[in-house]
C-alpha cells in the first residue's frame, strides 16, 4: 500500500504487513506511522489521499479525500468487496458512472472519475459542504413549503437534464440522496448509481435496511416494469410529501405492506397531515404520485411549469392583500373618508383623484347662485353707506370662495373654506379692486367738484378784468 508522509507530503510505499508501524520516510527521513488500514487517513488510493470517513451506504463507504493531481477535495466512494468480486456488476457500474461523469449541471453532484487501484474499485465525486435533506428533517421533521418547492424544482431540473442528455434515471430519489449546500442549493447525489444501491424489498430482520427505499419507490419499479424519468418523478413527489408533512405517503408494518399500498391504496392529501399546505400543492403531489405513469406529468418540462405557476401564485398571495376592497382612511378636505382603494397607493394625489367622483356634485354648485347674487348686489350699492361696505366685504369673501372652488373643479368646498382666497383668479383681483373703489369714490367726487369750482372762479376773474 501507499500513504502520504505527514511531514513532507511525499508518497511512501510499504508492505501491507507494516500497517500501523512506524517507519522512516524516504523523502524527509522523518519517522512516521503507517496507516492502520488501506482506507485510514493518509492512505492513498490511486490519485486520492483519504482524510476521513463521511458515511456508509448499501454499496460502499464514502470518504473525504484530496485529489493530488488537481489539488481539490473530493468524495471518494469505495465499493464493498462483495460487489468488487462480481465482474458483471463492475462492468455495469463503470459504464453508468462514466455516463454520470459526462453530466455537468449545477444541481447534480459531479462525478469526476471511476477506476481501480489493485483490487479496490472507486468513484470520485464532487465534495459538497452541507447536509442531506434527511439530516435536516431529522432535526426539524418538516421544512418550510417555499424551501421544499425550491428543492423539488432543483431536482426536477437535474432529472430532466440527466434524462435528456444520457437517458439516465436515478431509481432511488429520497431525502438521503439530496444534498443541501451551505448556500441552500439542492444537489442530487448518486445519479446513475442507485440502480446498484437499492435496498431489497424482501422481508428481513434488518428493518432499517429495507424501510429506506420502499417509502418512496414507484409502482412500476415494484412490479419490474420498464422505467423512465416519470418513475423518478413519482419518488420525488413522495419526497415532497414527506418534507412538508413529516409523514410518509404510505406506511406499514413492513416493506411488503408499504409496497402494496403504493400499488393499490389512494394517496391521503398532504393537507390532511399539514392543513397549511395549499390545495394546489396537494393536487401537484397527487399527479406526481399517480399509480400509472401515463397519469403523471408527461415530462419534466410540464412539471416545472406547474411548479413555477404554484410558486408564483404563492409569492403573489404574500405581496397582495387578501381583499382589494379593504377600506382605508383617506384625507379629503380635513375629513376622514372611507374609500375602497389599493393599499399599495402611497401618493396622496392618486387617492384624492380616486375620491373626487364623490365630490363632483358638491354643495358648492347650489350655493354659487346665492354668492353671485350677493356679488351683484354689492356692485349696485357702490354709492355710500357703511352697511353697504360691510355687505360688500362679506359678499367678496363668498364670491372669492365660490370662484376659487369653481376654478379648481375637483377640490371640495370644505378645502376652499379652510384656506379662503388660496387661488384667486382675475375675477378675484377685480373684486379686490372694487372693494378699494368703494372707499375712495367720495374723494374723487369732491376733487372733481373742487376743480370745476376753481375753473369757474378763474373764468369770472378773467371776465371782470
- Encode pLDDT of 333-364 as tens digits: 333 333 333 333 333 333 333 333 333 333 34
Cell of 286: 397527487
Q: At residue 124, what are phi and psi to the nearest 5 degrees?
A: -95, 130
Is residue 306 situated within a structural domain? yes
Q: How many domains does the chain have?
A: 3
Pick the last residue of a domain from 92, 126, 160: 126
Closest to 420 (Cα-Cα) out of 405, 439, 437: 405
Of 101, 126, 151, which residue is a domain's last? Answer: 126
Residue ranges in the chain whose pLDDT is less than 50: 197-212, 322-439
Residues 146, 294, single domain; the answer is yes
CA distance 369 to 366: 6
In a domain, 425, yes or no: yes
Query: For residue 333, which of 220, 253, 419 has the smallest C-alpha distance?
Result: 419
In the numeric block, the cell 424519468 is attached to: 229
pLDDT at 83: 83
The answer to whether residue 325 is domain-embedded is no
Same domain, yes or no: 114 and 142? no
Same domain, 187 and 310: yes
> Quick check: is 437 in a domain?
yes
Q: What is the pLDDT of residue 433?
A: 45
Whether 155 and 259 map to the same domain: the answer is yes
State whether 377 and 449 are in the same domain: yes
Q: Are residues 310 and 183 in the same domain?
A: yes
For Cα atoms 458, 462, 463, give the angle at the middle one, nearest 5 degrees: 115
Q: Is residue 273 part of a domain?
A: yes
**272 and 380 belong to one structural domain:** no
Give the residue numbers marked as catalytic: 172
Select from 235, 241, 231 the least CA-distant residue to 177.
Answer: 235
Q: Which helix (H) or strand (E) covers residue 178, if one does?
A: strand 178-181
The Cα 460–Cα 396 span in angstroms is 47
Residue with cell 461523469: 101
Task: Confirm whether 3 is domain-assigned.
Answer: no
**First vs last C-alpha separation in the chain:** 155
Residue 63: which CATH number?
3.30.200.20
Given the DSSP bridges, would you call strands 178-181 and 2-4 parallel, antiparallel or unpaired? unpaired
Question: H/E element holding 87?
Answer: helix 87-101
Domain shared by 284 and 165, yes or no: yes
| Rg (alpha carbons) of the chain, rounded to whole number | 45
Question: Are residues 119 and 96 located together in one domain of the fold?
Answer: yes
- 131 burial (CB, 10 Å; 0-12 / 13-18 / 19+) is middle
- Output the nine-digit C-alpha cell for 108: 447534480
Whole-model pTM: value is 0.63
Please provide the DSSP assignment of 395-411 as one string: HHHHHHHHHHHHHHSSS
Residue 422 maps to a domain: yes
Measuring CA to CA, how many Å separate 447 from each of 57, 451, 454, 455? Answer: 120, 6, 11, 12
Q: What is the pLDDT of residue 362?
A: 38
| 175 and 245 part of one domain | yes
Per DSSP, what are the bridge partners of residue 180? 131, 186
> Which one of 126, 144, 176 terminates a domain?
126
Do residues 280 and 294 both lie within one domain?
yes
Which helix (H) or strand (E) covers residue 76, if one does? strand 72-79
Is residue 122 domain-resident? yes
DSSP symbols for 127-139:
---EEEHHHHHHH
Residues 136 and 122 occupy one common structural domain:
no
Q: What is the rounded distance in angstroms from the CA atom of residue 68 to the CA atom of residue 41?
A: 14
**Do residues 395 and 419 make contact, with C-beta atoms less than 8 angstroms apart?**
no
Give every CB contact of residue 415 below 8 A, 6+ residues apart in sequence: 333, 334
Give the integer Cα–Cα distance in Å for 25 and 13: 9
**Do strands 120-126 and 111-117 pair parallel, antiparallel, or not at all (unpaired)?**
antiparallel
CB-CB neighbours of 28 under 10 Å: 13
The range of the structural domain enclosing residue 416 comes to 364-464
Give the domain CATH number at 276.
1.10.510.10
**How far is the C-alpha of 453 from the C-alpha of 449, rounded, in Å?**
6
* Residue 438: predicted pLDDT: 47
Amino acid at each position: 500500500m501507499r500513504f502520504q508522509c505527514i511531514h513532507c507530503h511525499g508518497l511512501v510505499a510499504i508492505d501491507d504487513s507494516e500497517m500501523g508501524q512506524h517507519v522512516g520516510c524516504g523523502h524527509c527521513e522523518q519517522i512516521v506511522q503507517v496507516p492502520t488500514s488501506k482506507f485510514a487517513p493518509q492512505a492513498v488510493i490511486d490519485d486520492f489521499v483519504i482524510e476521513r470517513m463521511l458515511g456508509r451506504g448499501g454499496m460502499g463507504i464514502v470518504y473525504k479525500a484530496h485529489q493530488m493531481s488537481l489539488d481539490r477535495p473530493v468524495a471518494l466512494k469505495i465499493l464493498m468487496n462483495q460487489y468488487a468480486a462480481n465482474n458483471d456488476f463492475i462492468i455495469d457500474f463503470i459504464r453508468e458512472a462514466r455516463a454520470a461523469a459526462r453530466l455537468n449541471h449545477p444541481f447534480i453532484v459531479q462525478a469526476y472519475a471511476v477506476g481501480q487501484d489493485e483490487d479496490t474499485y472507486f468513484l470520485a465525486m464532487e465534495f459538497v459542504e452541507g447536509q442531506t435533506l434527511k439530516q435536516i428533517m431529522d432535526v426539524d421533521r418538516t421544512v418550510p413549503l417555499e424551501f421544499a418547492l425550491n428543492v423539488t424544482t432543483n431536482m426536477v431540473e437535474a432529472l430532466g437534464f440527466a434524462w435528456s442528455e444520457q437517458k439516465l434515471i436515478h431509481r432511488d430519489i429520497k431525502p438521503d440522496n439530496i444534498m443541501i449546500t451551505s448556500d441552500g442549493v439542492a444537489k442530487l447525489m448518486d445519479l446513475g448509481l442507485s440502480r446498484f444501491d437499492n435496498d431489497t424489498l424482501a422481508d428481513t430482520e434488518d428493518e432499517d435496511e429495507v424501510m429506506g427505499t420502499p417509502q418512496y419507490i414507484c409502482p412500476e419499479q415494484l412490479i419490474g416494469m420498464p422505467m423512465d424519468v416519470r418513475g423518478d418523478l413519482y419518488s420525488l413527489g413522495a419526497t415532497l410529501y414527506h418534507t412538508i408533512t413529516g409523514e410518509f405517503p404510505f406506511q406499514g408494518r413492513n416493506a411488503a405492506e408499504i409496497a402494496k399500498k403504493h400499488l393499490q391504496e389512494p394517496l391521503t392529501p398532504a393537507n390532511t397531515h399539514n392543513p397549511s399546505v395549499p390545495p394546489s400543492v396537494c393536487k401537484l403531489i397527487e399527479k406526481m404520485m399517480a399509480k400509472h405513469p401515463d397519469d403523471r406529468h408527461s415530462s419534466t418540462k410540464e412539471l416545472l411549469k406547474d411548479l413555477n405557476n404554484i410558486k408564483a401564485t404563492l409569492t403573489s398571495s404574500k405581496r397582495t392583500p387578501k381583499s382589494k376592497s379593504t377600506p382605508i382612511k383617506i384625507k379629503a378636505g380635513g375629513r376622514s373618508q372611507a374609500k375602497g382603494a389599493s393599499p399599495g397607493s402611497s401618493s396622496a394625489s392618486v387617492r384624492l383623484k380616486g375620491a373626487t367622483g364623490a365630490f363632483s356634485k358638491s354643495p358648492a354648485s347650489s350655493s354659487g347662485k346665492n354668492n353671485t347674487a350677493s356679488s351683484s348686489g354689492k356692485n349696485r350699492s357702490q354709492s355710500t353707506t357703511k352697511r353697504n361696505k360691510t355687505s360688500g366685504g362679506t359678499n367678496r369673501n363668498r364670491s372669492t370662495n365660490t370662484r376659487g372652488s369653481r376654478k379648481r373643479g375637483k377640490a371640495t368646498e370644505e378645502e376652499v373654506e379652510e384656506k379662503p382666497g388660496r387661488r384667486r383668479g382675475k375675477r378675484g383681483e377685480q373684486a379686490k379692486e372694487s372693494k378699494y373703489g368703494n372707499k375712495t369714490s367720495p374723494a374723487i367726487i369732491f376733487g372733481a367738484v373742487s376743480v370745476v369750482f376753481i375753473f369757474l372762479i378763474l373764468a369770472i376773474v378773467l371776465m371782470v378784468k
